[in-house]
Amino acid sequence: MDEQSIDPNLICSICHKALKDPICTPCDHTYGRECITQWLNQNDKSSCPMCLQKPMSINELTQASRPLRNMLDQIRIRCTLCAQTGLQRGNFVDHINKFCPKSVVPCQAVDIKCPWKGPRDELQSHISTCVFEPLRPVLSSLIAENRQLIDQVQKHDNEIKKLVQQMHQLQS
């Protein structure tokens, strides 16, 4: 992201970067949540960094307006993993979680204990050679049977505890 091209009203005056999770002070100044929280906690500074209005506490901070948050979400950024440019900041998490070819993802056989994790763009290659995926039918039935056995053991354990309690009550 080119900080120089961003509207100065969208820049945190503490860190000088685009506002992240914008928060407003009672005196109507806006900062990134992490920056203003650190500022207020640091050396018991309980004043606004811009106008030094005192006293001010974290409890008095409010979330910035929806229009401001929308403007921040529209800022165009570059993905640091895959270098794709032109992404809207508000869609960045979705890009990382669903589309980024360099984002680290697990094998689809993670549920049957495949330990592989790697870049999304290598997933198909891994799946074609994954030794766990062909075992899915057998492992799935074993896992289901194991869950049933665990449930039965817990049920019996609860029954034993109840019987022990009843026995103690009868002895009293």
In this prediction, residue 43 carries a pLDDT of 60
In this prediction, residue 51 carries a pLDDT of 87
- Whether the CB-CB separation of 16 and 22 falls below 8 Å is answered with no
Give the tokens for residue 134: 């062909």
- Whether the CB-CB separation of 67 and 24 falls below 8 Å is answered with no
- Taking the complete model, does pTM exceed 0.75, yes or no? no
| Phi, psi dihedrals of residue 68, rounded to the nearest 5° | -65, -45
In this prediction, residue 36 carries a pLDDT of 93
CA–CA separation, 130 and 125 (whole Å): 9
In this prediction, residue 66 carries a pLDDT of 94
Q: Is residue 148 part of a domain?
A: yes
Contacts of 77 (CB under 8 A, 6+ apart): 1, 85, 87, 88, 89, 92
In this prediction, residue 4 carries a pLDDT of 58
Same domain for 28 and 69: yes
CA–CA separation, 38 and 44 (whole Å): 10
Q: Which domain holds residue 130?
A: 103-172
Our count of domains for the chain comes to 2
Q: Is residue 82 part of a domain?
A: no
Same domain for 108 and 61: no
Domain boundary, last residue among 56, 74, 92: 74
Beta-ladder partners of 18: 11
DSSP E strand stretches across 26-79: 30-32, 62-63, 76-77
pLDDT digits (tens), the chain, 172 positions: 555 568 888 999 999 999 999 999 999 999 999 999 999 888 666 888 888 877 788 888 999 999 999 999 999 999 999 999 999 999 999 999 999 999 999 999 998 889 999 999 999 999 999 999 999 899 888 989 999 999 999 999 999 999 999 999 888 7
